[in-house]
Chains A and B, each alone.
Chain A
């Protein structure tokens, strides 16, 4: 690992000031992704600002729902009684990710900031526009290895079927974020220009011409907490993750679903999919179709077909075009207990 300077901060203000001061400065939370990327020289920070001692690890009730601090550990959130009772989808999604050890280290904010697991991004001898953007001088830490996209026309079994660009077809790797998008979460960030609230669906972005940008954070901004609004989905929630192993593997396709059902009629529904796009993929067309309809397999299949409009395979990942709608239907059946 390359040498770097190390600063420990105890207040958000000090953290923002430290990251604004010097180029090539990164926040360090759980480190489960960043330290790995540093060992592989995908990211070469000049300085790390350790934010683990910030007072942002709390989970508390608010007037409108639940507030989860950015440095709360994934395992703490997954095992929290309020989360399990009111937002079981989030608990399930968290427990579907990584391993027990990694969940003990990883934080909510860090989970949101984790980079794609595209093998071309990780291998500095391979072309990657996300790691080595064509635009010079965007970030010294990213200028490692050749530009281009190895996955387009290469090995792309894990890659996107929605919203990809000619520059990047990588997918966002998080399970937690799929649940947070489905649950209409919002993110509070603080930065040199003040505080702001970002709808979770707008936190991550599609690659477009700037695949090096995973999200819409502005320079110097620190994730403070995530707010979850109360909902009526707790009794009919399910996170279904399809992967190559029974545990401890990234999703090929995952679906997070929450429904409010009365007398077998879907009053309201949230659907989001993982492993299919550069950001958590919300299935709004399917949601709209299902509202007011009975919870039947025929309706689920029609909703899944609507959700798949615009999907595109890149060769090795063509199987996702079948796997994804099947996963949507199965997740809906499990959540509505009609399986």
Chain B
């Protein structure tokens, strides 16, 4: 108990979220497992560092062909990891609640909503974002056939939903769910376009599917 209070004091009363976390996470048990660096930080009253040492967890994940060794808070979603920590801002945050599809990326080849995926659950996985859809340097690489088709068919207006639409569209064909415009509409229903470019998006997907290009 003394130890608990002492730790609370060390962390200061101004930082309530850190304090709440430590309270929640049973500070006594945590202290026993505290890594030396965090213990030293406590001794020196380095609040942020000790909090960080408590909260960060290691994560190894392949993102667009690059193996990343990361250290993240468990509450970080894959979407926030991509955008805020790795600055891969091609993946968009729309609703952040799994309703709009703007955050669609591929994890181990299947399309998912990055906003509802805790980054920690991608340990050992391969993540592909719009930036990694084609191989090589994004500045010089050719566009993916689906990107070409979206341009050709004017499959967007403001463009905010487009990266999610394209990642979803590629998966839709790979899954074998792009055999008719009706099927495309059904299997693309998780991607909302506020500009209403749906008709052109369906045209773009059907064009790629009929063209037989390797997606």
Interface residues of chain A, those whose CB is within 8 Å of chain B, are 1-6, 8, 22, 24, 28, 31-32, 35-36, 38-40, 46, 48, 50, 52, 75, 98-102, 104-105, 245-248
Q: Is B7 an interface residue (CB 8 A)?
A: no
Query: Which residue of the partner chain B has the closest CB to A48?
Result: B74
Question: Separation in Å of the A43 CB from the closest CB of chain B?
Answer: 13
How many residue pairs between the two chains, A and B, have CB atoms under 8 Å in the bound complex?
A: 98
Asked whether, in the complex, the Cβ of B189 is within 8 Å of the Cβ of A32, the reply is: no
Majority SS of interface residues in chain B? mixed
Asked whether, in the complex, the Cβ of A35 is within 8 Å of the Cβ of B74, the reply is: no
Q: Which of B20, B118, B190 contacts A98 (CB 8 A)?
A: B190
Sample 14 A-B pairs with CB under 8 A, ordered by A number. A4-B24, A8-B123, A31-B116, A46-B25, A48-B118, A50-B121, A99-B191, A101-B98, A101-B104, A101-B113, A102-B98, A102-B116, A102-B190, A248-B190
Within 8 A of A (CB), among B191-210: 191
Given A3-B75, A247-B186, A247-B189, does the pair A100, B97 have CB atoms closer than 8 Å?
Answer: no
Q: Which of B25, B168, B186 contacts A101 (CB 8 A)?
A: B168
Q: Which of B73, B111, B118, B190 contacts A31 (CB 8 A)?
A: B118
In this complex, how many residues of chain B approach chain A with their Cβ under 8 Å: the count is: 39
Q: Is B126 an interface residue (CB 8 A)?
A: no
Question: Separation in Å of the A34 CB from the closest CB of chain B?
Answer: 9
Q: Which of B17, B26, B116 contacts A35 (CB 8 A)?
A: B116
Residues in A whose Cβ lies below 8 Å from that of B21: 3
Question: Separation in Å of the A23 CB from the closest CB of chain B?
Answer: 11
Residues in A whose Cβ lies below 8 Å from that of B101: 99, 101
Asked whether, in the complex, the Cβ of A52 is within 8 Å of the Cβ of B121, the reply is: yes
Given A46-B24, A101-B113, A102-B98, does the pair A35, B186 have CB atoms closer than 8 Å?
Answer: no
Q: Is B117 an interface residue (CB 8 A)?
A: yes
CA distance A194 to B171 in the complex (A): 41
Given A32-B98, A39-B96, does the pair A100, B75 have CB atoms closer than 8 Å?
Answer: no
